[in-house]
Amino acid sequence: MTEPQGAGRDSWRNGLSARMAGFGPKANAFVSQPEPRTIGSFARGRQLCAGNFLFAGYLVEAPEAGIWDLPMPDAAFETEVHGFIWLDDLAAVADLNARHRAQLWTHDWVKRFGKGTGPGWVADLTGRRLVRWINHAVFLLNAQDGDTSAAFFRCMSRQANFLARRWKSAEPGLPRFEALCGLAHAGLALQGMERHLIPACKALERECALRIDDEGGLPSRNPEELLSVFVLLTWTVATLEESGATPPGGIVAAIQRIAPTLRSLRHADGGLARFHGGGRGLDGWLDQALAASGVRHMRHKGLSMGFARLSHGRTTVIVDAAPPPSGENSLNGHASTLALELTSGRRPLIVNCGSGESFGSSWRRAGRATPSHSTLSIEGFSSSRLGGAGVIAGRRTELLIDTPNDVSVNRPEVGRGVALILSHDGYVATHGLAHYRRLELASDGRSLVGDDSLSALTQEAERKFDEAFDRSGLQGIPFHIRFHLHPDVHAELDMGGAAVSMALKSGEIWVFRHDGAGALSLAPSVYLEKGRLSPRATKQIVLSSVATGYGIRIGWTLAKAQDTPSHIRDLSAEDDLAKTDR
C-alpha cells in the first residue's frame, strides 16, 4: 500500500525528536510508588504465557519466541504490540511465568528500541506505553539489577521528553488524549519530569474544551472511543488527587459531562452500545470508570451523543437518532441511522454487526454499511454512502458522504411505557423516500412494539420516487428491515413461518411477530468483535417488502413469551468464560 502523504515526513520528525529527547532531563526514581489502574484479561494473559499472540485479528503461535522476534503479519498487529496494552493482561495473571515474560519483553524493548528507533515512536503509542510502564513498574522492576532499572528509567525519561515535543502530532481525539495523559502521568510519577505536568494538564484542558461537547460527546460519535477518553481522564484526576494536587477544572468538568452520556449508552449487561466503529468496551472498564468519576446520574432529557435510550424493567433499547459523523470525523463512521440494539438483563438480543476493522478492509467496509445494522435499508443502498478519502492509523479509508441531512426524534406520551418517533431523509435524494420508525417499550420491559415506514411527502419527493420506480421496470423499490441477533441467541422460525422464537442463555424466550405486510425470513449474519480470529456466525431476522407507491408501512413486535418469568436468576458466567477461550 502506498504510504499516505505526509507519513514519511512525520516518521522522520518522530525519529529525530526521539533521539533528541535523550538529551533532556532524566528521571531515576518515582515520586511515589505507582498504583496500577489498568484492567487486563486473565484469559488473554494465559494465552500470551502459552505463546499465542492474538493482535489486530491475527494469531501468531510461537511458544518459544520473544514478542519482538515475531513475524509481524500486519502494521496494525505491530502497532498493538508496541502499545503494550498486553502488559495489563500479563499483570492480571501475575504468576512467575507472566512476570518473567513481562520483564523480558519490556527490557528487551528498551535494548532494541529505547534510544528512539522502531515503529513505536509515535505520540499516541508512546503515551499508551508510558502509562502501562508507570502502572506496572513494580511488576517490571521486581528483582531486576541496577543496570536494568537504570536503563528502564532512562527510557521512560526519553519517552516523556519525546511526548513533550511531539504530542501535537497525534491525531485529535483519542490519540491526542493518550499522548497528553501519558505526559501528565510521567510528570506526576517520575522525579525530574515535574516540568511536564503543568503544560500537559493545560493542553488536556484545551483538548477537553475542543473535543468534548456540552452534552459530553465526541465528534466521532463512537461510544467506545468516548469511554477510552473518559478512562484516561479519570486516571489522570485520580493520580493528581493522590499526589495532593488539585485537578484542573476543565478536566473535571469534562468528566462530569461525559459520565451521564456513558451511563445512557450503557446496556443492561454493562456493555456499551456498538455504533460507529466502537465495541462493548474492555470488561470492567466502564463500570470502574463511572464509579471513579463520582457522577451518578444519567442523561434523561434529549440525546446522548446523538443516541436515544428506552429502558424499563430489565430491558434497554439504544437507537442511533442523529446524523452520522461527518468529514474527517467519519473515518470510522457507520451508515447506522435509526439502527437499534436491545439487551435483556445480562443478555444482548438485537445487535449491530459491529466493526470489521480487525478482519481486513473488506469486512471493515461491509460492517459500515446499513445492511449490517438493525434497521431498514433499501436494497443496494445505504442511508449514507462511502466515498472520498482519508487516513486513519496510517491507512487509507473512506469517509461517509451523502449522509442524512434531516434526522428527527420525538418522545410522545404513551402512558406508563416509553416511546420514540424517529425519521431520516437518507433515501430521499435517491428514491424520494423518507424512513420513519416508531418504537414503544412497555412499562415492564417485556415487549417492544415497532413499525417502519417509507414515505414520499413532497411533490419533489414523489417525482424522485417515480424516477426510481421507472428505473425498476415498474417492479417497485425492494427494501428490508433487519434485526441482527447476538451469536448466543438460538433462533428458529415458528408458527408456520409467521414468527421467530429466540432463546437466550438465561432461559428467556422472546418472540418476533409482524403484521403480514412483509415476508419474514431467518438469514445468516455475522458478529464482528475485536480479539477474535474471524467473525462469529449468527442469524438475522429479515422483513422484506417492495414499495410500489408513495407510502408503505410494516408493523412488528418483539416480546417475551408469556411463560417467561419477569425475573430470571442469571448469574452463571460459564458462557462468558467460554467466549474468551479462543
CA distance 170 to 160: 15
**Closest among 474, 452, 459 to 428, alpha carbons compared:** 459
Q: What is the pLDDT of residues 500-555, one digit of tens each?
A: 999 999 999 999 999 989 999 999 999 999 888 899 999 999 999 999 999 999 99
Q: How many CB atoms are located within 10 Å of the residue 220 CB?
A: 25
Mean pLDDT of the region 2-27: 73
Q: What is the pLDDT of residues 149-178, one digit of tens each?
A: 999 999 999 999 999 999 999 999 999 999
How sure is the predictor about 11, in pLDDT bands with cuts at 50, 70 and 90? confident
pLDDT at site 230: 97
What is the value of pTM for the model shown?
Answer: 0.92
Higher pLDDT, 494 or 575: 494
Contacts 24+ apart (CB under 8 A), 190-193: 190/27, 190/29, 190/30, 190/31, 190/134, 190/153, 190/156, 190/157, 190/160, 191/27, 191/28, 191/29, 191/30, 191/31, 192/25, 192/26, 192/27, 192/28, 192/157, 193/25, 193/27, 193/157, 193/160
CA distance 390 to 228: 23
Mean pLDDT of the region 1-21: 67
Please determine, for residue 572, whether its predicted confidence score (pLDDT) is greater than 60: no
* Contact by Cβ (8 Å): 188, 160: no
Burial class (CB in 10 A: 0-12, 13-18, 19+), 140: buried
Higher pLDDT, 111 or 388: 111
**Assigned C-alpha cell, 180:** 497528553
pLDDT at site 8: 57
Question: Torsion over CA of 205, 208, 211 and 214, rounded to 10 degrees?
Answer: -130
Please determine, for residue 4, whether its predicted confidence score (pLDDT) is greater than 60: no
* Contact by Cβ (8 Å): 123, 131: no
CA distance 310 to 258: 19
Q: What is the pLDDT of residues 326-372, one digit of tens each?
A: 988 999 999 999 999 999 999 999 999 999 988 988 999 999 999 99
Average the pLDDT over each of 286-290, 298-302, 504-508 and give the range with the smallest value: 298-302
* Contact by Cβ (8 Å): 365, 382: no
CA distance 126 to 128: 5
pLDDT at site 96: 95
Contacts 24+ apart (CB under 8 A), 300-305: 302/215, 303/215, 303/409, 304/215, 304/216, 304/217, 304/260, 304/261, 304/264, 304/265, 305/215, 305/216, 305/217, 305/218, 305/221, 305/223, 305/226, 305/261, 305/265
* Contact by Cβ (8 Å): 290, 263: yes
How sure is the predictor about 9, in pLDDT bands with cuts at 50, 70 and 90? low
Please report the beta strands in 295-375, taking only residues with DSSP state E, as ranges in sequence order.
307-312, 315-320, 340-344, 347-351
Please determine, for residue 126, whether its predicted confidence score (pLDDT) is greater than 60: yes
CA distance 491 to 512: 10
CA distance 435 to 426: 8
* Contact by Cβ (8 Å): 26, 413: no
Average pLDDT, the chain: 91
pLDDT at site 568: 66
pLDDT at site 156: 96
- Percent with pLDDT over 70 in the chain: 94
Q: What is the pLDDT of residues 207-266, one digit of tens each?
A: 999 999 999 999 999 999 999 999 999 999 999 998 888 999 999 999 999 999 999 999
Please determine, for residue 567, whether its predicted confidence score (pLDDT) is greater than 80: no
CA distance 325 to 335: 10
Please determine, for residue 292, whether its predicted confidence score (pLDDT) is greater than 90: no
pLDDT at site 382: 96
Count H helices and E strands in the chain, helices first: 17, 20
Using only the alpha carbons of the chain, give its radius of gyration.
25
DSSP-derived pairing of the beta strands 385-392 and 395-401:
antiparallel
pLDDT at site 579: 43
* Contact by Cβ (8 Å): 559, 447: yes
Q: What is the pLDDT of residues 47-104, one digit of tens each?
A: 999 999 999 889 999 998 999 999 999 888 999 999 999 999 999 999 999 999 999 9
pLDDT at site 413: 87
Mean pLDDT of the region 400-409: 94
Alpha carbon 306 to chain centroid, angstroms: 15
- Percent with pLDDT over 90 in the chain: 77
